[in-house]
A and B are shown apart, each in its own frame.
Chain A
């Protein structure tokens, strides 16, 4: 009997028709639409239902390469945020079948590198980080008006990534006081050119630095706060130009003691990390043109479960400690 190989299959290839390289691609909440952004300064939206690819919108408004796009929760309508080298964050909204600029934020003095929407339970708001070192939190107050809170000098030299904590209070699965709604605190994590990972908490309407996590020896390129499944543990992943990926965990609900675990030291700068929907698998994109998938094993160690190589249709599974022979 032939080998039972685990494979993934490419079910659709979307020709984006961008005129320059793309920097981000994001599926919407339901996986029916795809948003891409590019150095050609445009943001495109495709309908990818049932294996199709129909260009729904070609959004122009940025004056420089667009680095990231992020979809808001569908409860607020079809809303997409984009951030760019042109120092702007633009929020786009679909109204009566057409996409238009809903709001434009120009509060930064340098490239805005990352944008991320907060958990929908708290409302419609986002955080964005810029090369000017500042982080801004934009909150929609309902009538098209946006409230701005800016954190200056969040990271010296520049901020590269922001990611929100999920809305669940850690441990809510276990100790839920009956009938009482737990006190939700808004928190997010950021990574910067000062090699630091920082945690931010909102207190009395102001944003304060809550934790400073040091472990990287070069620019932190990306951070990701894992989705919660109700366990008392909070988990954050950070990756850096130093080739390292760290997993940060905090077991106490107050969020005070964070422990770092080195996931892996890669041979190249690692530029992107992303958590799966249930937060069980971490995808790591490295400079060596590879994406590896990692999962926490029984003994608390992180193991590489898959290796996605460019040009290959097959993803071979490897066991815990073995190296992929390919």
Chain B
């Protein structure tokens, strides 16, 4: 059995061959990236496209300090788009009726979890790489990061506080401890105060705890305190907590005992809160909060690795997300990007993130074998994927425009594959090619449209397209069809077009003739006989009239010759042309010939008389 495989312009074909037949053979059309089709993710693609284009426009000469805040702001924009998408997907998932196919519902929730992961990773990259917070601020940002991604604490806290008797609520202590683990001391104190009011005799213990929580030093990056000063203060506080532990101050209440152990930074106790922490990176940040709040970025990776090992234990292997986060903590950007590229279905995330990181000048020029750097490589992959979509392809154009090395050639290769279903779409595609001087593609598209119009007998449209394609040969072909039609029917079609050809007329001799011939008819129709005759004459003189039409032209001249304004000279000239024609075409209808000869002679006589009369 052989498996056949073919590349389509967007999708792939897979079929079975070379086997014993059982039923008729099937061909499977396979799509690499179904996310493209999701209507909700489409918003992600559309809005991030705007952000991307805006980012490319940021000037190089802006001082780097200002640029950093700009980049952070852009990063937050991207993240808010992800979150908006996620919320919409979640709402949608809630809307599903029980009849909705299981896989569709599953697909929705899978998309949500993937977006969650993406936002988590992006947020961490923003903290570590784009904002690049120094020691002191670093921990604060990491705390924000954890709080943002562990939002169930708020819901539970609300539930507890709103209950009739908060202190009796079964989740009461879980909430207090969760808040402490996240460094939200004021809120922890608020919840604790519900307990304190109940027990008069143990209120002093609660007061002690309240003081500890209240006095925990938090680094203020905008303040005047230096990191060293903060560190000193923190150690004092830490010693105070430890003293409470050694004195068994909180021995009477096991929950408070747990809390003080956490405050002291006892890793085993913190680890016991596994369920409340739920992730190793929460464990990491909490651990740092209570043991090493002045952590410097380069030291982060050691704590990250050990936190992950401690939390997951020996039997649970890390998942792709864990590896990616770990690489981030190790400040190994390239590994982060590589792992995300492998793990994720769609290039959206890595392309946009890498592009932003590149603007922040964080990527070393990681040259790939085919000469393109990492950023361009990813953006090209992402944009190529967009091209398979019937409307998103327009976004892809902007991405290709911002890939200096290969963007243009990728665009050239792929823009030709867009099905030109309607004239409107063809014009849209054409404009894109014309704007970029992609003359080969312009020519190709116009030719395709011209041919199609001709096949459908729409001569006017076919002519317009060949003019746009600057295709002289095809223009000649179509002009002959027009003339044929005229000979058969006696009238022209598409008068609007023919009357307004302008300089395009010069594309081919036959086309010029067609345009001028139509003009002749128009002049005649407006009774401008002398001009009409002159034009007819010039057509014959210039020798651009096709041989087969000479008799027709002369026949057209017949009624003109009846007109009085036609001058002698003109008539003489027409006469001589007639003679030429007669010589070449021996078998011309004799009646026609006689008519013409008669008319010419009559006109000549008239003209002589008229001119004679005037001159006297």
Binding site for B on A (CB under 8 A): 1-27, 29-32, 34, 36, 38, 48, 51, 73-77, 95-96, 120-121, 173, 227, 229-231, 271-272, 274-278, 283, 285-287, 289-291, 296-300, 308, 310, 317, 319
Of B1, B8, B18, B113, the contact of A27 (CB 8 Å cutoff): B8
Task: With both chains docked as a complex, state the minimum distance between the C-beta of B508 and any C-beta of chain A, in angstroms.
Answer: 16
A25 pairs with B11, CB closer than 8 A: no
Q: With A18-B24, A21-B17, A31-B9 as known contacts, state yes or no: A231 contacts B3, CB within 8 Å.
A: no
Q: Scan B342-381; emit 1 where CB is below 8 A from any A CB, else 0.
A: 1111000000000000000000001111110000000000
With a cutoff of 8 Å between Cβ atoms, the chain B residues found around residue A319 in the complex are 342
A285 pairs with B7, CB closer than 8 A: no
With a cutoff of 8 Å between Cβ atoms, the chain B residues found around residue A287 in the complex are 2
Of B9, B17, B406, the contact of A29 (CB 8 Å cutoff): B9
Q: Which residue of A lies closest to B12 (CB)?
A: A8
A38–B388 alpha-carbon span in the complex (Å): 28
List CB contacts (< 8 Å) of B451-470 with chain A: 451, 455
Q: Which residue of A lies closest to B320 (CB)?
A: A4
With a cutoff of 8 Å between Cβ atoms, the chain B residues found around residue A4 in the complex are 114, 117, 320-321, 343-345
List CB contacts (< 8 Å) of B414-443 with chain A: 414, 416-420, 440
B114 pairs with A9, CB closer than 8 A: no
Task: Report which residue of A14, A25, A230, A276 has the largest number of chain B beta carbons within 10 angstroms of its beta carbon.
Answer: A25
B413 pairs with A277, CB closer than 8 A: yes
Interface-lining segment among B29-37, B93-101, B516-524: B29-37
B7 pairs with A13, CB closer than 8 A: no
Q: With A24-B4, A75-B448, A298-B368 as known contacts, state yes or no: A31 contacts B409, CB within 8 Å.
A: no
Q: Which residue of A lies closest to B15 (CB)?
A: A25
With a cutoff of 8 Å between Cβ atoms, the chain B residues found around residue A76 in the complex are 451
B609 part of interface (Cβ distance < 8 Å): no
Q: With A77-B451, A296-B370 as known contacts, state yes or no: A12 contacts B6, CB within 8 Å.
A: no
Task: With both chains docked as a complex, state the minimum distance between the C-beta of B9 and any C-beta of chain A, in angstroms.
Answer: 4
Which 8 A/B pairs are nearest by Cβ-Cβ distance?
A27-B8, A30-B419, A12-B29, A4-B343, A291-B5, A31-B9, A14-B27, A31-B8
B16 pairs with A6, CB closer than 8 A: no
A25–B11 alpha-carbon span in the complex (Å): 13
A289 pairs with B1, CB closer than 8 A: yes
With a cutoff of 8 Å between Cβ atoms, the chain B residues found around residue A229 in the complex are 370, 406, 409-410, 413
B21 part of interface (Cβ distance < 8 Å): yes
Q: Which residue of A lies closest to B444 (CB)?
A: A75
Task: With both chains docked as a complex, state the minimum distance between the C-beta of B524 and any C-beta of chain A, in angstroms.
Answer: 36
With a cutoff of 8 Å between Cβ atoms, the chain B residues found around residue A310 in the complex are 1, 3, 16
Other A-B pairs, 10, CB within 8 Å; known A27-B6, A285-B5, A298-B369: A4-B344, A6-B342, A20-B21, A22-B15, A31-B8, A229-B406, A230-B409, A278-B410, A297-B368, A319-B342
With a cutoff of 8 Å between Cβ atoms, the chain B residues found around residue A289 in the complex are 1-3
B26 part of interface (Cβ distance < 8 Å): yes
A120–B444 alpha-carbon span in the complex (Å): 9
Task: With both chains docked as a complex, state the minimum distance between the C-beta of A196 and any C-beta of chain B, in angstroms.
Answer: 23
A314–B328 alpha-carbon span in the complex (Å): 28
A16 pairs with B27, CB closer than 8 A: yes
A299–B25 alpha-carbon span in the complex (Å): 41
Task: With both chains docked as a complex, state the minimum distance between the C-beta of B450 and any C-beta of chain A, in angstroms.
Answer: 9
B369 pairs with A300, CB closer than 8 A: yes
A1 pairs with B31, CB closer than 8 A: no
A278 pairs with B413, CB closer than 8 A: yes
B487 part of interface (Cβ distance < 8 Å): no
A120–B12 alpha-carbon span in the complex (Å): 23
With a cutoff of 8 Å between Cβ atoms, the chain B residues found around residue A9 in the complex are 30-31, 34
Q: With A77-B455, A277-B9, A278-B384 as known contacts, state yes or no: A16 contacts B24, CB within 8 Å.
A: yes
A22 pairs with B17, CB closer than 8 A: yes
With a cutoff of 8 Å between Cβ atoms, the chain A residues found around residue B34 in the complex are 7, 9, 11
Task: With both chains docked as a complex, state the minimum distance between the C-beta of A171 and any C-beta of chain B, in angstroms.
Answer: 12
With a cutoff of 8 Å between Cβ atoms, the chain A residues found around residue B29 in the complex are 10-14, 34, 48, 51
Task: With both chains docked as a complex, state the minimum distance between the C-beta of A25 and any C-beta of chain B, in angstroms.
Answer: 5
Task: With both chains docked as a complex, state the minimum distance between the C-beta of A30 and any C-beta of chain B, in angstroms.
Answer: 4
Task: With both chains docked as a complex, state the minimum distance between the C-beta of A125 and any C-beta of chain B, in angstroms.
Answer: 16
A21 pairs with B370, CB closer than 8 A: no
Q: Which residue of B lies closest to A301 (CB)?
A: B369
Give me 23 A-to-B residue pairs in the complex whose CB atoms sit less than 8 angstroms apart, sorted by A's number: A1-B116, A1-B321, A4-B344, A5-B345, A6-B344, A9-B34, A16-B25, A25-B6, A29-B9, A30-B9, A30-B419, A31-B417, A36-B25, A75-B447, A75-B448, A75-B451, A76-B451, A286-B2, A287-B2, A296-B369, A310-B1, A310-B16, A319-B342
Task: With both chains docked as a complex, state the minimum distance between the C-beta of A37 and any C-beta of chain B, in angstroms.
Answer: 11
A227–B31 alpha-carbon span in the complex (Å): 21
B296 part of interface (Cβ distance < 8 Å): no
A26–B8 alpha-carbon span in the complex (Å): 7
Q: Which residue of A lies closest to B451 (CB)?
A: A77
A38 pairs with B25, CB closer than 8 A: yes
B417 pairs with A30, CB closer than 8 A: yes
A31 pairs with B444, CB closer than 8 A: no
A308–B419 alpha-carbon span in the complex (Å): 28
Q: Which residue of A lies closest to B384 (CB)?
A: A278
B50 part of interface (Cβ distance < 8 Å): no
Task: Report which residue of A20, A38, A51, A277 has the largest number of chain B beta carbons within 10 angstroms of its beta carbon.
Answer: A277
A6 pairs with B343, CB closer than 8 A: yes
A25–B6 alpha-carbon span in the complex (Å): 7
With a cutoff of 8 Å between Cβ atoms, the chain A residues found around residue B371 in the complex are 231
A2–B32 alpha-carbon span in the complex (Å): 21
With a cutoff of 8 Å between Cβ atoms, the chain B residues found around residue A48 in the complex are 29
With a cutoff of 8 Å between Cβ atoms, the chain B residues found around residue A300 in the complex are 369
B417 pairs with A29, CB closer than 8 A: yes
A6–B18 alpha-carbon span in the complex (Å): 29
Task: With both chains docked as a complex, state the minimum distance between the C-beta of A153 and any C-beta of chain B, in angstroms.
Answer: 29
Q: With A4-B344, A12-B29, A299-B369 as known contacts, state yes or no: A274 contacts B6, CB within 8 Å.
A: yes
Q: Which residue of B lies closest to A14 (CB)?
A: B27
With a cutoff of 8 Å between Cβ atoms, the chain A residues found around residue B15 in the complex are 22, 25, 36
With a cutoff of 8 Å between Cβ atoms, the chain B residues found around residue A21 in the complex are 16-19, 21, 25
Q: Which residue of B lies closest to A44 (CB)?
A: B27
With a cutoff of 8 Å between Cβ atoms, the chain A residues found around residue B30 in the complex are 8-11
Q: Which residue of A lies closest to B34 (CB)?
A: A9
A36 pairs with B2, CB closer than 8 A: no
A227 pairs with B413, CB closer than 8 A: yes
A26–B26 alpha-carbon span in the complex (Å): 13
With a cutoff of 8 Å between Cβ atoms, the chain A residues found around residue B114 in the complex are 4
With a cutoff of 8 Å between Cβ atoms, the chain A residues found around residue B31 in the complex are 8-11
A96–B6 alpha-carbon span in the complex (Å): 29
A233–B532 alpha-carbon span in the complex (Å): 61
A283–B388 alpha-carbon span in the complex (Å): 19
Q: With A9-B30, A274-B6, A310-B3 as known contacts, state yes or no: A30 contacts B418, CB within 8 Å.
A: yes
A25 pairs with B9, CB closer than 8 A: no
Q: Which residue of B lies closest to A32 (CB)?
A: B419
B53 part of interface (Cβ distance < 8 Å): no
B28 pairs with A12, CB closer than 8 A: yes
Task: With both chains docked as a complex, state the minimum distance between the C-beta of B238 and any C-beta of chain A, in angstroms.
Answer: 34
Q: Which residue of B lies closest to A173 (CB)?
A: B409
B14 part of interface (Cβ distance < 8 Å): yes
A74–B449 alpha-carbon span in the complex (Å): 9
Q: Which residue of B lies closest to A46 (CB)?
A: B27
Q: Which residue of B lies closest to A6 (CB)?
A: B345
A173–B370 alpha-carbon span in the complex (Å): 13
Q: With A25-B15, A173-B409 as known contacts, state yes or no: A271 contacts B2, CB within 8 Å.
A: yes
B10 part of interface (Cβ distance < 8 Å): yes
List CB contacts (< 8 Å) of B54-104 with chain A: none
